[in-house]
């Protein structure tokens, strides 16, 4: 849409034509706050006003009066915007860049992951595996797990037992650390057993086979409910299938540990949740993780899983990742299919990975 440095009311019925956007000097635009007539209400008067606004007849009448008092119908009807409306962002096609691999969106997820794997440096187990008696703390990355599974050092089933014990330990701490809203230990064991058998037969699906993944509670992951960290949303929303991003991960053989805690409906940047408790920062439990993808960040930063999938509109992946010392990557709009995500029609929010390393973010 174009802009204008004129925000005052226009008298009569003379249309106000906004200049085309290419003719607007943004540096010269100054916003002038218009005089608004709106009630200032608190306490009982606010509750009474809300009750009136929710009334089918009175609510419409009050809304119409408030709009007329503030000249909104005239302003909208008498403003001419030269550009056609845009419902989704547009971005021009880019020329191919040297040494950049394009991974086609329509390709099989396993093939896409394999293509991304080829872009990473050669994996050197000696860098990560040590015989030191007291080795330093290191996050296990995706390729660390894959190496451990394929070489027989451990199995997904063994790791699953540690994950279950870790989740129970965090939940029983004082104060508790509710990183997951929905968790089913038996389902986790079944997924891990299936992955273990694939490794025993020598045919893992992909580099992501047996990797433990948490899904934020505003993304559908069948058969788990999607609540958006509320107490009601699962009553009006039935999960019948995986979200597209979840389905692609499942096809690669990942193990889902459950639905991760979050700021209720994603409307906040602290992660504070009065319904299920607050997922605290594993590095300092008296501090917030940040939000709204608080549970995913806490799970990855605590080392319970290498990957979590969150959603980011105004920083909901990047903020908790920064506060918890992990990697949060907001993907480009349109890069990830948002079907099956609670906010699947926005032009800002995207499903994005939280990982312990940049390498893992690339693979996810």
Two tokens at 8? 């005052």
Give the Cβ contact number of residue 348 at 10 Å. Answer: 11
Task: Tell me the backbone φ, ψ of residue 256, rounded to 5 degrees.
Answer: -90, 125
Mark whether 227 is an active-site residue: no
Q: Tell me which of 157, 206, 306, 316 is the catalytic residue.
A: 316
What sign results for the dihedral spanned by CA atoms 243, 249, 254, 259? negative
Q: Tell me which of 216, 227, 259, 330 is the catalytic residue.
A: 216
* Helix (H/G/I), strand (E/B), else coil: 309: strand
Q: Is there a contact between 215 and 248 (Cβ–Cβ < 8 Å)?
A: no
Q: Tell me which of 195, 206, 292, 356 is the catalytic residue.
A: 292
* 218: nearest Cα among 311, 336, 289: 311
Is 84 buried (19+), middle (13-18) or exposed (0-12) by CB count in 10 A? exposed
Two tokens at 56? 């089918």
Q: Is there a contact between 322 and 294 (Cβ–Cβ < 8 Å)?
A: no
Mark whether 13 is an active-site residue: no
User: Which stretches of 159-247 are assigned E, i.e. beta strand?
Assistant: 180-182, 212-216
- C-alpha distance from residue 333 to each of 89, 131, 250, 312, 326 (Å): 8, 44, 22, 10, 22
- C-alpha distance from residue 107 to each of 25, 102, 115, 344 (Å): 44, 11, 11, 22
Structure-token match 């480009």, residue found: 332
How far apart (Å, rounded) are the C-alpha atoms in residues 293 and 324? Answer: 11
How far apart (Å, rounded) are the C-alpha atoms in residues 258 and 18? Answer: 50
Q: Is there a contact between 9 and 75 (Cβ–Cβ < 8 Å)?
A: yes
Mark whether 301 is an active-site residue: no
**β-bridge partners, 215:** 259, 309
Instruction: Name the residues annotated as catalytic.
Output: 216, 292, 316
């Amino acid at each position: 849409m174009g802009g204008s440095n004129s925000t005052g009311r226009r008298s009569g019925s003379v249309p106000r034509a906004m200049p085309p956007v290419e003719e607007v000097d943004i540096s010269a635009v100054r916003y002038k706050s218009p005089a608004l007539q709106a009630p200032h209400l608190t306490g009982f008067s606010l509750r009474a006003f809300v009750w009136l606004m929710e009334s089918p007849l009175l609510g419409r009448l009050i809304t119409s009066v408030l709009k007329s008092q503030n000249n909104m119908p005239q302003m909208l009807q008498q403003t001419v915007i030269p550009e056609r409306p845009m419902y989704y962002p547009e971005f021009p096609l880019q020329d191919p860049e040297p040494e950049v691999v394009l991974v086609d969106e329509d390709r099989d997820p396993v093939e896409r992951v394999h293509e991304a794997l080829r872009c990473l440096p050669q994996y050197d187990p000696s860098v990560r595996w040590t015989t030191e008696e007291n080795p330093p703390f290191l996050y296990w990355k995706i390729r660390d797990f894959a190496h451990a599974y394929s070489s027989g050092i451990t199995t997904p089933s063994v790791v699953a037992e540690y994950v279950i014990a870790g989740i129970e330990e965090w939940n029983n701490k004082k104060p508790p650390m509710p990183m997951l809203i929905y968790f089913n230990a038996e389902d986790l064991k079944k997924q891990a057993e299936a992955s273990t058998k694939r490794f025993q037969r020598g045919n893992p699906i992909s580099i992501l086979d047996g990797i433990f993944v948490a899904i934020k509670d505003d993304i559908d992951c069948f058969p788990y409910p999607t609540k958006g960290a509320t107490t009601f949303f699962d009553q009006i929303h039935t999960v019948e299938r995986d979200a597209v991003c979840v389905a692609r991960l499942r096809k690669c053989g990942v193990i889902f540990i459950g639905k991760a805690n979050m700021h209720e409906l994603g409307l906040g940047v602290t992660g504070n949740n009065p319904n299920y408790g607050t997922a605290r920062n594993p590095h300092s439990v008296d501090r917030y993780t940040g939000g709204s993808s608080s549970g995913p960040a806490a799970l990855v930063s605590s080392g319970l899983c290498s990957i979590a999938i969150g959603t980011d509109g105004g920083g909901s992946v990047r903020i908790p990742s920064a506060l918890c010392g992990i990697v949060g990557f907001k993907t480009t709009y349109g890069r990830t299919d948002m079907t099956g995500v609670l906010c699947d029609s926005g032009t800002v929010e995207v499903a994005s990975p939280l990982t312990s390393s940049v390498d893992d973010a690339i693979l996810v």
